[in-house]
Amino acid sequence: MQKMLVEGGHPLNGKVRVSGAKNSAVALLPAAILADSQVTIEGLPDISDVYTLGELLEEIGGRVVWDGQTVHIDPEHMISMPLPNGQVKKLRASYYFMGAMLGKFKQAVIGLPGGCYLGPRPIDQHIKGFEALGAEVTNEHGAIYIRAKELIGARIYLDVVSVGATINIMLAAVRAKGRTIIENAAKEPEIIDVATLLTNMGAKIKGVGTDVIRIDGVPSLHGCRHTIIPDRIEAGTYAITAAAVGNEVIIDNVIPQHLESLLAKLREMGVTVEESDEQLYIAARDPLKSVDIKTLVYPGFPTDLQQPFTSLLTKASSTGVITDTIYSARMKHVDELRRMNANIKVEGGSIIVSGPNKLAGARVKASDLRAGAALIIAGLMADGITEITGLEHIDRGYENITEKLNQLGANIWREEMSEREVVQFKNS
Ligand code: EPU
């Protein structure tokens, strides 16, 4: 088991390239199940969630061939193998096997998904959608059993705007009989990416990117080639890092329109932000003004950038308030930042950061993926060395983050933990 050491005080300069979008990748890979011939996906991020899903595709009989960032998935010999345990527990997105296997085989048995703990993360809207399409859904010993004689298109109103439920219902509906209408659908760019893949496979989908999606089911889908969109959350994480400790940083392979809510907040703080077709230029300015943040569904401020942004706010000139309306319990980074001398508290469901604070290196634990990013940013801002454990969360979602930051001038390295440290970590 490894820990990460971050030496603060090195200003960042230069260019960093953003990888393919994690939250697209984790849906595109299961979506390939729905095809009857080979699907090729280009530009996948080199992160552990992607390989876990590749192994799950192999477990159900898929032929999965990697060629760098490209994967070829041949679904011809896939079967509706139950996946009640094992790898499915490692990540949240294994729930996309439910929609994809239901769409293809009319049945699926999938263990309840794992992933980052951000408070309760129900999947009732996914299930509501499957049931509306004609499936019977039961929860037996921690696995979801889904069976349908046939799937018939339906009108489904989502009570909560959900990325996962919108994608999962699309996956189940593209091969159903007749028309499915998803109302109050989520509009995240990753949903458009998945719909683009499905359309290239022969699906008939209209309205993605709006809150009403119409799907006319087709009997079969064929293989295709697809290039993934860039990861807006990774790009946003580097933009926040550049605002915190950058001199001049260029973030390459970005769709700036996907990040308007973040860029507006950075500008409000006084950061210089310039956008071009596929790049962002960020130049940090001192002092930074405090701002308030409320996370919302897309195109609002993304919950996935709330934690990294908390670290940035410790540097700002007065008090900033962060309210996460998507995951109100996404706050495990707060205690860790306090260990690093941040003047920060949770009050009435919001995080209150009273800056400016001079952070100091400390031993901290990444409790989830974006908390990990927040701690790396804080470590870069701090005096001295910050030791971060819980790297398995960070590796699930950020491709080569150590190398990418070091290329910009950071000083970050990994070390094996001693036996005593491993025991301490497991008990903490
Ligand atoms: N919700 C329900 N019922 C449902 C589904 C969701 O009540 O059936 C609630 C959730 O509890 C939450 C809200 O609806 O309060 C939104 O959840 P959503 O379903 O949109 O989240 P998700 O699909 O499980 C994806 C990303 C998350 C990201 C959220 C919100 C993937 C694999 N995960 O999760 O990404 O935070 O959307 O944008 O796409 C991350 O990358 O660090 C991450 C956690």
What is the residue extent of each domain of the chain? Answer: 2-19+230-427, 22-227
Q: Residue 86 pLDDT more than 90?
A: no
- pTM (predicted TM-score): 0.97
Judge if 2-19+230-427 and 22-227 fold alike in CATH terms. yes
% residues pLDDT > 70 (the chain): 99
Q: Which amino acid, one-letter code, is at 374?
A: A
| Residues annotated as catalytic (active site), given as ranges | 116
In angstroms, what CA-CA distances link 168 with 95, 300, 328, 360? 8, 22, 23, 43
Task: Decide: 310 in ligand 1 pocket, CB within 6 A.
Answer: no
Task: Decide: 106 in ligand 1 pocket, CB within 6 A.
Answer: no
Residue closest to 33 by CA, chosen among 64, 66, 78, 65: 78
Answer for the pair 256, 250: CB distance below 8 angstroms, yes or no.
Answer: no
The closest residue, in CA terms, to atom 12 on ligand 1 is 326
How far, in Å, from the CA of 163 to the mean position of ligand 1? 6
Q: How far apart are CA 4 and CA 398, in angstroms?
A: 14
pLDDT at 404: 98
Half-sphere exposure of 408 (CA within 13 A, CB side): 30
Matching residue, tokens 């994690």 = 22
Average pLDDT, integer, range 240-256: 96
Q: Which amino acid, one-letter code, is at 343?
A: N
Matching residue, tokens 């973040």 = 262
The closest residue, in CA terms, to atom 37 on ligand 1 is 163
Q: How far apart are CA 84 and CA 298, in angstroms?
A: 32
The closest residue, in CA terms, to atom 5 on ligand 1 is 123
Classify residue 8 by its DSSP letter.
-
How far, in Å, from the CA of 165 to the mean position of ligand 1? 9
pLDDT at 134: 98
Strands 246-252, 272-275: pairing is unpaired
Token readout for 36 is: 């009857």
The strand pairing partners of 182, in sequence order, are 156, 213
Which band of pLDDT confidence, cut at 50, 70 and 90, is reported for residue 116?
low
Token readout for 202 is: 């022969």
Which band of pLDDT confidence, cut at 50, 70 and 90, is reported for residue 112?
confident
Choose which CATH entry (3.40.50.300, 3.60.15.10, 3.65.10.10, 3.90.10.10) describes domain 22-227: 3.65.10.10
How far, in Å, from the CA of 283 to the mean position of ligand 1? 32
Q: How far apart are CA 273 and CA 270, in angstroms?
A: 9
Q: How far apart are CA 144 and CA 294, in angstroms?
A: 34
Residue closest to 359 by CA, chosen among 3, 8, 6: 8
| CATH architecture of structural domain 2-19+230-427 | Alpha-beta prism (3.65)
Instruction: Give the pLDDT confidence of 151-179 residue by residue, as tens digits.
Output: 999 999 999 999 999 999 999 999 999 99
Q: Residue 117 pLDDT more than 80?
A: no
Angle at 393 between CA 398 and CA 387, to 5 degrees: 95
Answer for the pair 402, 412: CB distance below 8 angstroms, yes or no.
Answer: yes
Task: Decide: 396 in ligand 1 pocket, CB within 6 A.
Answer: no
Instruction: Give the pLDDT confidence of 332-342 residue by residue, as tens digits.
Output: 999 999 999 99
Query: Alpha carbon 93 to chain centroid distance?
Result: 9
Matching residue, tokens 């390989």 = 51
Between 422 and 70, the more confident residue is 70
Which band of pLDDT confidence, cut at 50, 70 and 90, is reported for residue 142?
confident
Half-sphere exposure of 7 (CA within 13 A, CB side): 8
Nearest ligand 1 atom, CA 368? 42
Q: Residue 368 pLDDT more than 90?
A: yes
Matching residue, tokens 């889904």 = 146
How far, in Å, from the CA of 303 to the mean position of ligand 1? 9
**C-beta neighbour count of 244 within 10 angstroms:** 24
Q: Which amino acid, one-letter code, is at 58?
A: E
Note the residue count of the chain.
Answer: 428
User: Buried b / exposed e across 270-281, counting CB within 10 Å, b at 16+?
Assistant: bbebeeeeebbb
For the chain, give percent helix, strand, coil, nearest 5.
35, 30, 35
The closest residue, in CA terms, to atom 22 on ligand 1 is 164
**Span between the terminal Cα atoms of the chain, in Å:** 15
The four Cα atoms 149, 153, 159, 160 give a dihedral, to 10 degrees, of: 90
Q: How far apart are CA 320 and CA 222, in angstroms?
A: 50
pLDDT at 365: 96
How far, in Å, from the CA of 418 to the mean position of ligand 1? 36
| 136 φψ region: left (φ > 0), alpha (ψ -120 to 50), beta (else) | beta
Q: Residue 424 pLDDT more than 90?
A: no
Between 426 and 268, the more confident residue is 268
Q: Residue 290 pLDDT more than 80?
A: yes
Lowest-confidence region among 116-120, 276-280, 368-372: 116-120
- The mean pLDDT value of the chain amounts to 96
